[in-house]
Structure 1
Amino acid sequence: MPSPPISLRSLDLHPSTRIPHGSITCFSMALLLQHALHLFFLLVPLRHHRTAAVQIATEFVYPNFTASSINYIEKDNIFLTSPSSIFSATLSSDAPQSPFIFSILHTPTSTVVWSANLGSPAPYTSVLSLSPAGLSISLSNGSLLWFTPPLPRPIAALRLLDSGNLLLLDDVNNSLWQSFEHPTDTLLSSQRLPVGASLSTSTGDYHLLVTADDAVLLWVNQQYWRLSADPRSIKYHHEPTSFMAANDSGLYLISATGRASYGLKLPNANHQFMRLESGGQFRFLDYSGNRSGLAEELLVPISACDLPLSCRALEVCTLQRKGITCNCPVSFAGSTAGGCVPADSSALASISNCAMEPAYRSLGNGVEYFANKFLKPSSSGGNLSSCQTLCSRNCSCLGFFYKNSSRSCFLVNNQIGSLLGSRNQEVFDSSEGYVKITALSQLGSSRSPNLIPILLTSIVVFLALLIAGIYWRRRKRMSGYRTSPKFVTLKLWASPTRDSIFTGDGFVSGDPDEICILDLPTRFTYAELIAATNNFRTKIGAGGFAEVFKGDLPDKTSVAVKRINGGASGIQGKKKEFLTEIAVIGSIHHVNLVRLRGFCAEGGHRLLVYDFMNRGSLDRSLFVPEAPLLEWDKRMNIAIGVARGLAYLHSGCDRKVIHCDIKPENILLHSSGSVKISDFGMAKLMSTDQSGLFTTMRGTRGYLAPEWLTNTAISDKTDVYSYGLVLLEIIRGRKNWSMVAEGWSIGSTGVGDIRYFPMIALEMHEKGRYLDLADRRLEGRVREEEVGKVVRVALCCLHEDPVRRPTMNEVAAMLDGTIAVEQPRPEGLGFLRVYGRGFLFSGESGKIKSSSSRSCSVFSQYLSSQEVSGPR
């Protein structure tokens, strides 16, 4: 599968057109005239300047050239244009006789795309000069305001290209300096941003930095977005980044070999530039073609509350249906200077008063800090008091957040931005936040009354842990918490079995019932979950090993509580499933993966707490006749969301995660349009060098890949196969095996009352009749080429040889149009006909009857393999 269609040739920065040397001689006379005119402008009173006529150069100007906002005022201060007049070099100013900025403009829209002195506008009497030594802006007293660095050779010309790149050239047309290598706040579509380079706002508070493995947005060195974590991004390869660039299909991180590692697809193919705005947003913009403005294409970060200063400092930003709301936390009030301050006489601490003994003020419940989801904890394994001590010893620390579940401490250094309300915490676990304050009435005191709640909390936690330790030591059958600086360890059961399972930063090894997880989610008591579910009153799903109930937490957040129960597989299977699900979903976060909010491991009770998805699972929307019909665009959003979630599991985690049970019952929907993969009880976590050979079959009948039966190594391509089957069900709106007669004729068997839809999809693909495969309830509200594209993607996923199946990154890219759709290979799909023709179903008994003795021995195993997972 090729990388996304990015043309490196279009990103070439070195000009190939040579300077028309013959024009230099002709230009010498014009140059003398220009100097004379310049002298004339300096001597004639200002009121006569508007009558002067100054020629605007095209593409080239040459040394000893000067320009000022006085002599080019009639030309909108433009002194040079690119060959096609797309871009122009100008001394931009807001009004006559006002300071100017040496800039490159997009001429049709007067949009500034590069600036030399953005943070230091030059007085209108200043002069821009081009000499053999360089380009500079000099003040009226002769001092330099801005200048290019020393160059290895004399300058022969200044050139402006139609790409927007401004170059200084030597006498053989080699580039000595170019504006593309010194970006400000804007990146043009033909411009590269190499590793280590950044875009910056004029104030210097915000930066877009390209690193060896990502692109990140920073506010005073606090990260608030990264490309790899954006839910719209696609991962292609595992190669170090060389530079960031864009083409007509999107924004990409490109390696030295020219392949993309990450990409962000744009909504349409007409973008021209990207800008880091003064408020911290990174916008993808499209030229409107006139002076009326610009048409916005894409904005990152997605949420308005993800910006460091969505609200003022220490205000809590909460998303509403229309916009955001900003409020001060409890015990804080608005300040006339902006932001929030303690409501009493206390003052917020600053770096300058570090010598004072600090106190701390709680930010209350339900708030989080924007940077914590990207920040590694400053320490782990300690208590609240140790986290406070860590902040107190650090002069730059202005506050901290402590997570009880993982005992992780996050410090806020140098500057504090706005906070996030509980509605915005999709990737956060609950934490306690405190800001450092100075009690004005007790400047010499070594303690503050506000420290008492923290000390009391620490004492209570210590006593609780001490009592729990004594209790569990008396019970040799079980163990409680053991902590180390890195991990929280759970021993849930005692078992002599040995069967190692690896997880991201933790592991289950030796004793398979011992699991170590970094940043463990919240632990609930059984009584708390009884109260949340009203004694498990509202059941919303059930499967082989679990039941799922709707619940409401004390903060009114709706959750789904999954209760592991008894089943045919026995207690050992349940224990492993519970351990695996905590290990997988507790350590990964993605917009298309259901979030584990917490768990309960108390006595014989094993429960998992997830975010509640109010539209239930995909099978209800597809297969229940009374359910509202899913239109084609919604089906495609679901398909792309699931593909991106699987792509993250396969290549975005520290360890590859194979879900092993992809089916519509494990795809959850929300009325907001979000789609999430659930049920990780069957998941397998693998290192990159593991063979993936499983000893126990996993999955659900009807979605199993052929390799489960052939002793072939199980890999992420097993999920790809299951996804292909689900994709066909999304297209048709029916189960792939159906007892409903729809007029299909299955080969030469003459059977008209059953059908195997993957085989029919293959036959219709060969005939080019894609529209016949679409859900008939859509009644033509989908185009044949759209159905054809998705059918081809699904068939590519169903190749019998796993090597021929695309990766989920490639599947997501094909579905959203980032890359071209591959053609399925007929020789790799012939087995679908065997599946379709090999069996008849008895509508009464549901048992499989073989119509082919040769295929019975193998395919009856495939179709009747044990269903080890059910709807959750």
Structure 2
Amino acid sequence: METIFYIFHIFLFFSAISAYTFSDYINPNFTASNVKFIDNSGTFLSSPNGTFEAAMFNPAAQQTNFYLCVIHVASNTIIWSANRDAPISDSGQMNLTIEGITIVDQDGIPKWSTPPLNSPVYALQLTDSGNLVLLDRSNVSLWESFHYPTDTIVIGQQLPVGSLLSCGVSDSDLSTGDYKLRISTSDAILEWHGQTYWKLSMVANAFRDTNYMVEYMAVNSTGLNLFGSDGTVTVTVLKVVLPLADFRIAKLASNGQFIVRSFSGNNWKQEFVGPEDGCQTPFICGSVGLCTDDTTTGTSSTPTCSCPPNFRAGSNNFSACVPSNGSYSLPRACNSSLSYLKLGSGMQYFTNIYSDPVRYGVNLTVCQDLCSRNCSCLGIFYENSSGSCYVLENELGSIMSSSNSGSNLLGYIKTIVVSATTTDDPTSHSQRNKFPVAALVLLPITVFIFFMAIGFFWLRRKKKSKTKDIKLGKFNSHSSEDLSAFYIPGLPKRFDYEELELATDNFKTLIGSGGFGAVYKGVLLDKSVVAVKKIMNLGNQGKKDFCTEIAIIGNIHHVNLVKLKGFCAEGRQRLLIYEYMNRGSLDRTLFGGGPVLEWQERFDIALGTARGLAYLHSGCEQKIIHCDIKPENILLHDQFQAKISDFGLSKLLSPEESGLFTTMRGTRGYLAPEWLTNSAITEKTDVYSYGMVLLEVVSGRKNCSVKSRSHSMDESNSCGGYSSASSVAGLVYFPLFALEMHEQGKYLELADPRLEGRVSSEEVEKLVRIALCCVHEEPALRPNMATVVGMLEGATPLAQPRIESLNFLRFYGRRFTEASMIAEENENDSMLHQPPQESTPTTSGSQTAFSYVSSHDISGPR
């Protein structure tokens, strides 16, 4: 009897241990299951502060699916689950061994486990931030739940580039759903079956602060942030008013909306939701369901589901809408008997907002044929005004209908014919009808007359078209190349040549010219002012090559890059339509006779230009090297906002442009030495040109010219009393003079004299040192543009120029002086009798003199 009593007490002792919740950590050879615990909560581990628990848990109190979860205790919210796609019953177990965590069902069959670890497990710990961590004997982390997020991240957790949040199916079913949140190097993106339906960068109160590449996303007390540079730089911040809260999460909900919310006291508060319009979540009303956004309530959207015209609710209510006519069904595979059911007007589809048309300038029949030939295409949207064709592929989501939808779009859903029953659908393919005898007699005659009429009008139209083609110069080897004959995604709006003739009053107002062509001011039909650039010297390049490059340029958007609004490619005519910059180019403002630029304005221009270049080099999908950075290609808008123009156009030019471009690309005076030594051309060539421009911004004069007369100095000594190796007889090679003044610490000698003391030595030193670092002879020693932005903003320590890599400027300066004096002797004899060259980058005598220096001379001894 005593033995039985003893055994009974031992049983109670171990039962108590099994039911005990550890508040620090647990060691291997531990087993947990829901039925093993007295209170049936399944909790076996708590964080030290009691905020979080680890448990074998059944969401929504259902009794079939149990998961290993980390739970926020106060709100009973799951922030992580292990076996979300392999639930177990209440008698399944979680086993902790020295090899990690394993979850098995009631039969002992493994359902989930941690990956292979580098060393044996010593303990399992739940941190105060909610991170479940496996530790080795040295307290080194072997595995963390934070590194394997499910649908939620909490404060202290990072979601790195390349990782995903995947929604659950419902509150009770944690299985992986169809909605994903993906972090790219530039954005946070919501996707459904690989199709984008929301981007953080497009939210009104999300701001991109820098051009650094994104490394991870995190939620904190300031909002939702995308961080770069090892977390030291905020790339994008979603600014929301966040009150003090006990607990805050960012979660991808089962309905596809990404939500930031906080828990305080006993209440949840929603602080942000995206997309805000519930109808923009792809499957809110099921396949082909019509979602109407009811904004009359004054709150966030209240979607209402129905079916569009020609469709009715399927057997499962609005999980799908099916064709009203039973003779048609949605395709499940490729089928030759295709038809298209038209949707009502004022409808939109979520992918149309975030993707580009597959074709521009085509008719509806071409658009439908594109879909018919593509088995994965399930429908189209067609825009009448532009001839844009959008295709709906892979999975069909909901159709949107709201006051904000584009009324110019027409939607068509692909169907297959399942019977020969007659339909009244006007867009369907021909039906089998029995013709009366009279029709059989009259039909051939009618067809003959019809084709005779078509032939007459075709000949008349061809004659008119030929006259127009002669005017546009279309008769060349590429005259038959039709823009609708090839697929170029991302192409911006295409303008007709006649439309641009009208907008520019037959190219009446010339506002600029250069190596890429002439620029004219224009006003479009919507009253927007634009700059129309006529591209010259394109050689034999065809429309497709041109449009491919324009598609790349048109998809690049940055506040410091001039926006491309459209293009024209008719015959040999190539035109680009840009936003109009009302303050013109930097060279006119900097070197002209107008009001002097103040120092802060110069600094803002330098910073804006650096940001634009940094984006071209590292911020967009395809790296773009500008190859011709100079003041003429830096345009100014309101408040002297700098925007780089002509980026990406160097690829469009023909090789015969040697009159402007030395060796390959670029303008004399801004060319990096590697252009002239057949060295590799990288983004560091733009850095060199930027450094040269920065010196001109500091001084307010050209680097390679005589002293500007606009400076308030004694014209008898145009060098302003300078006495150095960089100035001889009024000629100054400013980069060398800047190097000499840097060596002597006399930075104010370099500032534009017109500023008259309105700038400090420290402010000038900052820009001069950055500029000299940019013009190092060795490209590897030049900083990248992201680093330049950091130095200008103060986030990166100011670098010290390397004198040994700047000595080449002394040779440049000497050659410049010699060539300038030779040019002055010959200027009145030969230079003045030469016809002006449209492609000459500058007109000053000394700049032309500098052009005399040969590639061999300018590269100097090696």
Bin for the TM-score computed over the shorter chain: 0.5 to 0.7
Distance in structure 2 (CA, Å) of the matches to 1:772 and 1:487: 61
For structure 1, which segment, 479-488 or 828-837, has the greater mean C-alpha deviation from structure 2 after superposition?
479-488
The 1:766–1:304 alpha-carbon spacing in structure 2 relative to 1, beyond 3 Å, is farther
- Structure 1 residues 814 and 591, CA gap change in structure 2 (3 angstroms): farther
Distance 2:459 2:12 in 1: 88
Contact 2:68-2:94 within 8 A present in 1 as well: no
Of structures 1 and 2, the one scoring higher in RCO (CA 8 A, sep 6+) is: 1
* Correspondence for 2:368: 388
Deviation at 1:415, TM superposition (A): 2.5
| 1:748 maps to which of 698, 723, 737 | 723
2:210–2:234: 8 Å Cα contact kept in structure 1? yes
Report the CA distance between 1:273 and its aligned residue: 9.2
Instruction: Tell me how far apart the structure 1 counterparts of residues 586 and 45 of structure 2 sit (CA, whole Å).
Output: 59
Quick check: 1:87–1:107 contact (8 Å CA) kept in 2?
yes
State the Cα deviation string for residues 142-177 of structure 1 (Å, max 9, x = none): 799996349999987533357854246799999997
What is the identity, as a one-letter code, of the residue corresponding to 2:521?
Answer: F
Which amino acid counterpart does residue 180 of structure 2 have in structure 1? H
Matching residue within 562, 569, 594 for 2:532: 562
Alpha carbons 1:369, 1:420 under 8 Å: kept: no
Matches within 5 A, 1:663-678: 663-668=630-635, 676-678=643-645
Would the aligned equivalents of 1:347 and 1:437 in 2 still touch at CA under 8 Å? no
Alignment partners' CA distance in 2, 1:293 and 1:670: 45
State the SS of the aligned residue for 2:54: strand
CA spacing shift, 1:185–1:817, aligned 2, 3 Å = farther
Give the 3-state SS of the residue equivalent to 2:552 in structure 1.
coil
Letter in 1 for 2:518: A
- Quick check: 2:566–2:578 contact (8 Å CA) kept in 1? yes
Alignment of 1:646 onto 2:616: yes
Pair 1:683-2:659 in alignment: no
Q: Aligned residue for 2:242?
A: none
* Contact 2:327–2:421 (CA under 8 A) maintained in structure 1: no
Residue identity in the other structure for 1:391: C
Whether the 8 Å contact between 1:759 and 1:832 is mirrored in structure 2 is yes
Deviation of 1:447 after TM superposition, in Å, equals 6.8
Deviation at 1:200, TM superposition (A): 0.7
Is 2:795 aligned against 1:799? no
Contact 1:156 1:171 in 2 (8 A): yes
Q: Which residue of 1 aligns with 2:627?
A: 660
Gaps of 5+ in 1: 1-28, 40-53, 454-458, 489-504, 506-516, 566-570, 687-692, 850-856, 867-872
- Alpha-carbon distance, 1:799 to partner: 1.3
Deviations 1:785-835, CA, capped at 9 Å, x for gaps: 887665544322211233433444655566678876654312222344666
1:370 corresponds to which residue?
351
Among candidates 112, 137, 142, match of residue 148 of structure 1: 112
Partner of 2:692: 725
Deviations 1:38-85 (Å, cap 9, x if unpaired)? Answer: 77xxxxxxxxxxxxxx664213355555576998999x9975345788
Q: Tell me: CA distance 1:91–1:862, structure 2 relative to 1, closer, same or farther (3 Å).
A: farther
1:527 maps onto 2:516 in alignment? no
Corresponding residue number in structure 1 for 2:392 = 411
Instruction: State the SS of the aligned residue for 1:527.
Output: helix
| Larger Rg, first or second structure (1 or 2) | 2
Identical counterparts, % of pairs: 36
SS in 1 for 2:70: strand
Distance 1:212 1:523, change over 3 A: closer
The correspondence for 1:185, drawn from 113, 127, 151, is 151
Q: Given the alignment of the two structures, is residue 198 of structure 1 paired with residue 164 of structure 2, yes or no?
A: yes
- CA shift, 1:526, in A, is 2.9
Residues 584 and 683 in structure 1, CA contact (< 8 A), matched pair in contact too = no
Q: C-alpha distance in 2, partners of 1:145/1:217?
A: 35
Q: Say yes or no: does 1:400 pair with 2:400.
A: no
Alpha carbons of structure 1 residues 211 and 521: separation in structure 2 relative to 1, 3 Å: closer
* 1:610 paired to 2:574: no
Q: Report the residue type matching 2:723 in the other structure.
A: S
CA distance in 2, matches of 1:235, 1:279: 32
> What's the offset of the Cα at 1:529?
1.7
- The two structures have a TM-score, normalised by structure 2, of 0.59
**1:218 maps to which of 165, 170, 191:** 191
Determine the C-alpha separation between the residues in 2 that align with 1:159 and 1:400.
53
Aligned partners of 1:114 and 1:186 also within 8 Å: yes
Partner amino acid, structure 1, of 2:497:
Y
Greater Cα shift, 302-311 or 273-282: 302-311
Between the aligned partners of 2:123 and 2:352, the Cα distance in structure 1 is 46
1:642, distance to aligned residue in structure 2 (A): 1.5
**Structure 1 residues 394 and 769: alpha-carbon distance in aligned structure 2, compared to 1, 3 A threshold:** same
Structure 2 distance, partners of 1:280, 1:93, is 23
Shift of 1:222: 1.1
Structure-1 separation of matches of 2:278 and 2:793: 25
Q: Alpha-carbon deviation of 1:551?
A: 1.9
Structure 1 residues 70, 373: CA separation in 2 closer, same or farther (over 3 Å shift)? same
CA distance in 2, matches of 1:616, 1:525: 26
Distance 1:295 1:770, change over 3 A: farther
C-alpha RMSD of the superposition: 7.5
Report the secondary structure of 2:413's partner residue: strand
Q: For 2:37 and 2:691, locate their aligned partners in 1 and report how far apart those are by CA, in whole Å.
A: 67
Q: In structure 1, what residue type is equivalent to 2:501?
A: I
**In structure 2, distance between residues paired with 1:446 and 1:236:** 57
- Give the 3 Å change call, closer, same or farther, for CA 420–762 of structure 1 in structure 2: farther
Q: Contact (CA 8 Å) 1:561, 1:607: kept in 2 or not?
A: no
Aligned twin of 2:859: none
Q: Which amino acid aligns with 1:804?
A: L
Which residue of 533, 543, 549 corresponds with 2:521? 549
Given candidates 440, 449, 463, the residue that maps to 2:426 is 449
- SS of the equivalent of 2:595 reads coil
- Letter aligned with residue 677 of structure 1: I
Residue 12 of structure 1: aligned partner: none
User: For the structure 1 residues 97 and 357, does the alpha-carbon distance in structure 2 shift closer, same or farther, using more than 3 Å as the test?
Assistant: closer
Decide which of 36, 50, 54 is 1:89's aligned counterpart. Answer: 54
User: 2 CA distance for matches of 1:698 and 1:149?
Assistant: 58
How many Å separate the matches in 1 of 2:319 and 2:634?
Answer: 42
- Unpaired stretches in structure 2, ≥5 consecutive residues: 1-8, 170-176, 239-247, 294-298, 431-452, 654-659, 714-718, 828-844, 855-862
Superposed CA offset, 1:552-571 (max 9, x none): 14xx2735242539xxxxx8
Note closer, same or farther for the CA distance 1:828–1:591 as it changes in structure 2 (3 Å cut): same
Residue 528 of structure 1 aligns to which amino acid in structure 2? Answer: E
Contact 1:56 1:79 in 2 (8 A): yes
Equivalence for 1:4: none
**1:220 partner amino acid:** H
In 1, distance between residues paired with 2:481 and 2:669?
A: 43
CA distance in 1, matches of 2:800, 2:736: 16
Q: Does 1:435 align with 2:379?
A: no
Q: How does 1:327-342 map to 2 (within 5 A)?
A: none
Structure 2: distance between partners of 1:778 and 1:670: 22
Say whether the 8 Å CA contact 1:731–1:774 is kept in structure 2.
yes
* Cα separation, 2, equivalents of 1:771 and 1:88: 64
Q: 1:590 offset after TM fit, Å?
A: 1.0
Distance 1:277 1:621 in 2: 53
Any conservation in 2 of the 1:202–1:278 contact (CA below 8 Å)? Answer: yes
| 2: CA distance, partners of 1:87 / 1:783 | 56
Change (3 A) 1:129 1:147: same
Shift of 1:683: 1.0
| 1:824/1:394 CA distance change after superposition, 3 Å | same
Which residues of 2 match residues 239-318 of structure 1 at below 5 A? 265=235, 276=252
Matched, 1:158 2:128: no
Change (3 A) 1:538 1:754: same
* 1:622-633 matched pairs, under 5 angstroms: 625=595
TM-score normalised by structure 1 residue count:
0.59
- Structure 1 residue matching 2:168: 3-state secondary structure: coil
In the alignment, the residues of structure 1 paired with residue 633 and residue 621 of structure 2 have an alpha-carbon distance, to the nearest angstrom, of 20
- 8 Å CA contact 2:377, 2:391 repeated in 1: no
